[in-house]
């Protein structure tokens, strides 16, 4: 039957005319399929497609070894489509996309199902039946991509149809997790989630700041806006899917009985992933998307302290840190290129060369730091600003070089596409141009790495305009999500080349923007520009939620700016970093992959780690606790490199059978599988409610033991966040307890 079941579309049309008009979304089968009274299956390597009959109609299931990877809703179309016209508004890397439906094709016929002779490829053919009674032929190809992954490739035979939608069965209590960095919610069931790499926005729903940001710059964001969203999920039923597409996608989980995956394209490609638990699902996904390389020892042997202000200021702060015995991995000096003052705060010149007026004696500073086993880190992004008329002491005009050689992304009139950032415009380097790609890589190497820099923030990557023109000729709308991947690849190539040419020295860059494939290239992620607040949509709480969701999507080694970044001065309401927020963020970060501070966009209006003795003592104390976890954390980095597992994990990752863990977003997290942290993330609070999963847990500050499977109210004054270690890891507990005792 597998090799003889091809039937022409016209035959399906004849059979349709003899029956009652189907309801919207009904699945229509060719007669030889509809007459099947028993379950029937088609092998696809180690996978199979099963068709079974239910009272509501046929159900199609994609399975492996008894596990259902995906299934259709009984009697309903599992593939629909249509014609749409999108409207895109862009402002400073923030995008608003609205879609007008011109035609819906929401009924599907299945006309033939056929395997090849070796049963390693299966093809479903049929038509999408539209509301204007037209039909569009399609084919769905399924074949194994690995032992764990079944690939699907859906194509339609119409140049006009530009929307495709895969509709799969779900249940009301099925949790959906992953999707890259999602900052507001951990379980996305019940939500409609667009996937597009973009600025997360200022506020993301917190008021009044979101309204103000939207009114002034269209940059307020929403709960779903993310620098690093991904078309990837896993569920509490151990089902996992990801798309290979780079076009704009929407995952609709609002219906209790289904999930719909829509792509703005006439081709839909992706894979189902099999696995018995979240660990195996993450392994399966990262086998495709890539896994992050373990960080070098120097990076996590102490704090990375972000400083600005020039040589004298940095040396002064360094002396204060040494006085308080703060273990230091690096000083991160993002203003190595000099600073300008804008309406947003203190910003950089975006002309990537050392400002020797701002940092006189830079070479001596780098040498002295190396002598103390402290590395120097800096900053770069793929924009170049025209600063020749406004910046003194300009030695190399990078904007003029890029413009002369046509290295910028262009407008339709072939002029450089200048993108507004606060008070100035900048050109974006076209990474599809091989010459521009090599030029930017050489700029970073010659202007930054050659000046003694061991690591840097590789910022931005999310702002490619949809109406820009690329060297490659590709549509910018399709390339938009891939831009940060190429930006990561450029930096990874540079780091690998530097390591090869300089005696194995490892350069570490960290990025905020990402998409599928960034996991393969990026050395380290950070969560972007959180608001300096306790807010759940754009404050300290999102620095947990984003870490947990991103970790399930292969962003295994990730962290946040200690204290947050975005400060706002406004007559209606100020958002300035408080001392309490900084102390609580410091506590939380000590139990995460990297311990790095940021002074923020308005350093003078934010409380800093060096602003008083108490804060410096607190910071030094938790830097030493962070350092004490070096050996434990290093094993987690190795697991990330080998398996793709996140270093910081949601409780659900380790305890997927415990339904309580599905509803935890920022309230707690795990470092590895043996250490649980419930940070205090509300202003003025000194206790937390902590759910402990199965096992026997030891509270590190009091040594009190707690039985898992229950919720406890725990005292957590500043300096004593709620931290627990599994009793089954006595060495880890002893190490932490000794460090805490020594501190006291």
Catalytic residue positions, numbered: 459, 462, 529
Closest among 355, 503, 494, 386 to 431, alpha carbons compared: 494
| Residue 201 near residue 217, CB atoms below 8 Å | no
Calpha distance 732→727 (Å, rounded):
9
Closest among 491, 18, 389, 423 to 216, alpha carbons compared: 423
Closest among 119, 164, 137, 152 to 7, alpha carbons compared: 137
Under DSSP, the state recorded for 744 is -
Provide φ and ψ at 347, rounded to 5°.
Answer: -125, 170
Cα–Cα distance list, 545 to 184, 535, 560, 584 (Å): 7, 12, 11, 16
Residues 6+ apart with CB under 8 A from 77: 25, 26, 27, 106, 107, 108, 167
Q: Which residues face 144 on adjacent strands?
A: 150
| Residue 331 near residue 318, CB atoms below 8 Å | yes
Closest among 299, 208, 288, 128 to 572, alpha carbons compared: 208
Cα–Cα distance list, 329 to 298, 304, 326, 374, 638 (Å): 6, 6, 10, 5, 19
| Residue 726 near residue 674, CB atoms below 8 Å | yes
Cα–Cα distance list, 9 to 60, 134, 443, 448, 509 (Å): 20, 12, 58, 62, 54
| Residue 144 near residue 122, CB atoms below 8 Å | no
CA torsion, points 331, 337, 338, 344, in degrees to nearest 10?
A: -90
Q: Which residues face 153 on adjacent strands?
A: 141, 269
Residues 6+ apart with CB under 8 A from 327: 301, 302, 303, 623, 624, 626, 627
| Residue 411 near residue 466, CB atoms below 8 Å | no
Total Cβ atoms within 10 A of residue 281: 27
Query: In the chain, what is the greatest distance between 2 CA atoms, to the nearest angstrom?
Result: 88
Here the tokens at position 40 are: 């029937």
Calpha distance 638→467 (Å, rounded):
42
Three state DSSP letters for 30-70? CHHHHCCCCCEEEEECCEEEEEEEECCEEEEEEEECCEEEE
Whether the link from the prior residue into 57 is cis, omega within 30° of 0, is no
Three state DSSP letters for 275-299? CCCHHHHHHHHHHHHCCCCCCCHHH
DSSP string for residues in 656-669? TT-GGGGG-SSS-E
Here the tokens at position 59 are: 């159900």
First to last CA, the chain: 76
The helix (H) or strand (E) run that includes residue 446 is: helix 434-447
């Amino acid at each position: 039957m597998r090799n003889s079941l091809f039937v022409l579309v016209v035959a399906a049309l004849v059979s349709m005319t003899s029956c009652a008009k189907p309801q919207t979304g009904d699945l229509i089968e060719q007669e030889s399929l509809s007459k099947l009274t028993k379950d029937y299956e088609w092998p696809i390597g180690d996978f199979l497609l099963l068709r079974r009959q239910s009272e509501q109609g046929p159900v199609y299931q994609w399975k492996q070894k008894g596990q259902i990877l995906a299934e259709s809703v009984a009697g309903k179309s599992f593939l629909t489509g249509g014609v749409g016209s999108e409207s895109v508004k862009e402002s400073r890397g923030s995008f608003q996309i609205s879609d007008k439906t011109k035609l819906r094709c929401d009924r599907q016929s299945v006309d033939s199902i056929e395997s090849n002779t070796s049963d390693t490829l299966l093809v479903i053919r049929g038509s999408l039946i539209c509301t204007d009674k037209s039909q569009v032929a399609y084919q769905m190809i399924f074949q194994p991509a690995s032992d764990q992954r079944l690939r699907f490739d859906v194509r339609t035979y119409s140049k006009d149809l530009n929307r495709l939608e895969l509709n799969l069965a779900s249940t009301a209590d099925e949790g959906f997790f992953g999707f890259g960095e999602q900052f507001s919610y951990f379980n996305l069931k019940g939500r409609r989630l667009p996937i597009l790499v973009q600025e997360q926005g200022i506020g993301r729903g917190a008021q009044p700041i979101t309204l103000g940001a939207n009114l002034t710059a269209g940059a307020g964001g929403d709960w779903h806006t993310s620098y690093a969203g991904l078309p990837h999920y896993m569920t509490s039923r151990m089902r996992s899917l990801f798309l290979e597409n780079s076009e704009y996608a929407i995952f609709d989980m609002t219906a209790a009985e289904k999930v719909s995956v829509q792509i703005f394209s006439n081709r839909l490609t992706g894979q189902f992933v099999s696995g018995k638990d979240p660990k195996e699902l993450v392994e399966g996904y990262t086998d495709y998307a890539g896994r992050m390389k373990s960080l070098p020892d120097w990076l996590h042997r102490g704090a990375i302290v972000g400083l600005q202000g020039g040589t004298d200021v940095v040396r002064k702060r360094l002396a204060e840190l040494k006085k308080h015995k703060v273990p230091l991995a690096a000083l991160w000096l993002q203003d190595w290129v000099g600073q300008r003052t804008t309406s947003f705060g203190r910003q950089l010149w975006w002309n990537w060369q050392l400002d020797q007026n701002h940092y006189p004696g830079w070479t001596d500073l780098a040498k002295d730091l190396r002598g103390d086993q402290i590395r120097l880190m800096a900053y770069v992004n793929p924009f170049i600003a025209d600063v020749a008329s406004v910046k003194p002491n300009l030695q190399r005009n990078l904007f003029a070089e890029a413009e002369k050689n046509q290295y910028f992304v262009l407008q339709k009139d072939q002029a450089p596409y200048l993108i507004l950032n606060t008070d100035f415009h900048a050109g974006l380097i076209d990474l599809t141009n091989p010459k521009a790609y090599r030029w930017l890589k050489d700029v970073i190497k010659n202007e930054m790495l050659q000046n003694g820099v061991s690591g840097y923030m590789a910022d931005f990557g999310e702002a490619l305009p949809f109406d820009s023109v690329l060297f490659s000729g590709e549509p910018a709308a399709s390339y938009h999500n891939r831009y940060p991947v190429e930006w990561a690849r450029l930096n990874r190539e540079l780091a690998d080349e530097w390591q090869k040419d300089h005696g194995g020295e490892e350069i570490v860059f960290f990025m905020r923007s990402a998409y599928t494939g960034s996991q393969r290239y990026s050395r380290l992620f950070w969560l972007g520009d959180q608001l300096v607040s306790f807010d759940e949509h754009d404050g300290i709480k999102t620095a947990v939620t984003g870490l947990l969701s991103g970790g399930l999507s292969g962003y295994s080694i990730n962290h946040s700016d200690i204290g947050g970044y975005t400060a706002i001065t406004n007559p209606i309401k100020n958002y300035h970093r408080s001392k309490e927020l900084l102390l609580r963020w410091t506590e939380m970060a000590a139990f995460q992959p990297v311990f790095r501070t940021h002074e923020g966009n308005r350093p003078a209006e934010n409380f800093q780690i060096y602003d008083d003795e108490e804060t410096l003592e607190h910071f030094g104390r938790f830097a030493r606790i962070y350092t004490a976890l070096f050996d434990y954390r290093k094993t987690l980095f190795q697991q990330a490199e080998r398996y793709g597992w996140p270093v910081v994990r949601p409780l659900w990752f380790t305890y997927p059978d415990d339904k309580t863990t599905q509803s935890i977003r920022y309230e707690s997290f795990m470092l590895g599988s043996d250490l649980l942290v419930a940070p205090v993330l509300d202003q003025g609070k000194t206790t937390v409610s902590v759910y402990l999963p199965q096992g026997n847990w030891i509270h590190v500050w009091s040594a009190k033991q707690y039985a898992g499977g229950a919720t406890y109210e725990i005292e957590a004054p500043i300096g004593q966040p709620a931290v627990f270690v599994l009793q089954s890891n006595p060495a880890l507990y002893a190490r932490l307890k000794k460090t805490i005792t020594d501190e006291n």
